[in-house]
Structure 1
Amino acid sequence: MDNLNVQFHVSVLTVPSFVSADQFPQWLRREALAIQELSEDNSLTILRLFLAARIKEAWGRKKLDVLLQAITDKYPHIFRVEMVVIDNQLNIDEKELIQSEAEKELAQILETVKQFQELKIAKSKLH
């Protein structure tokens, strides 16, 4: 089995307080486009969207699911969108901490995949 030739990244987005519920889909599409345009050919991004409760309430879960799915459908470098509802906007320190923790979590996942691949290769050599 070949090693994965893909680089994974995590991008943390928080909806600014000046973005209204009506402006939210356009804002999200612009942010997603920027991530897509900055992506390298062999990269995939997990987008962690910290969404203000006021926007979630205005949109509802079903409409949000459709919007988030449309983002992953339209932008091939965005692997998935994870949504976390928050009451207050995050400050820069909180964003940096979340980004750091996300990168550590991603590194652990990739290490697990690597170990699984190595185990599978070792087992195939025994047969």
Structure 2
Amino acid sequence: MDKLNVHFHVSVLTVPHFVTADQFPEWLQREALAIQELSEDNGLTIVRLFLAARIREVWPKKKLDGLLQGITDKYPHIFRVEMVVIDDTLDFDEIELIQSDAEDELAQVLETVKQFQELKVARSKLH
């Protein structure tokens, strides 16, 4: 069985209240670069971006989608960017809880994939 030697991680980002809509792209690029630089060679990161509604309202959907796609195109260790629009910034405890829940969710998905692979191998040995 081919095993991928890839480690998935989830990073939670929330835009600080002092970042304006005009500063948002530069802020996001800096955060993405930091994630990229901290990644292991075999690591892929899913970024969960909690975006303040005040910024989302300024950015047209097409431009925002282009910015997020540009992040995954530019930084090979960022597998995907998921965006959730929120009314205000998150505090540290909320970020920790979201991070923990995301890591648990990811672990469950990876366990399901592992079980599927094992079942596939077992079935192939029967035939």
Hey, what's the Cα distance between the residues in 2 that align with 1:116 and 1:4? 14
Query: Counterpart in 2 of 1:120?
Result: 120
Query: Counterpart in 2 of 1:55?
Result: 55
Hey, what's the Cα distance between the residues in 1 that align with 2:126 and 2:49? 45
Hey, what's the Cα distance between the residues in 2 that align with 1:113 and 1:42? 18
Query: Counterpart in 1 of 2:2?
Result: 2
Shift of 1:2: 1.6
The CA deviation string for residues 14-55 of structure 1, in whole angstroms up to 9 with x for no partner, is 000100000000000000000000000100000000000011
CA RMSD of aligned residues (A): 0.6
Shift of 1:60: 1.8
Gaps of 5+ in 2: none
Hey, what's the Cα distance between the residues in 2 that align with 1:4 and 1:100? 24
Hey, what's the Cα distance between the residues in 2 that align with 1:57 and 1:89? 15
Query: Counterpart in 2 of 1:87?
Result: 87
- Name the % identity: 81
Hey, what's the Cα distance between the residues in 2 that align with 1:89 and 1:99? 15
| Runs of 4+ more than 2 Å apart | none
Gaps of 5+ in 1: none
**How many residues of Structure 1 are paired with residues of Structure 2 in the alignment?**
127
- The 3-state SS of whatever aligns with 2:55 is helix
Hey, what's the Cα distance between the residues in 1 that align with 2:90 and 2:30? 20
The CA deviation string for residues 59-83 of structure 1, in whole angstroms up to 9 with x for no partner, is 0211110000000000000000000
The CA deviation string for residues 53-109 of structure 1, in whole angstroms up to 9 with x for no partner, is 011110021111000000000000000000000001101110000000000000000
Hey, what's the Cα distance between the residues in 2 that align with 1:77 and 1:113? 20
**What are the equivalent positions in structure 2 for 1:30-109 lying under 5 Å apart?**
30-109=30-109
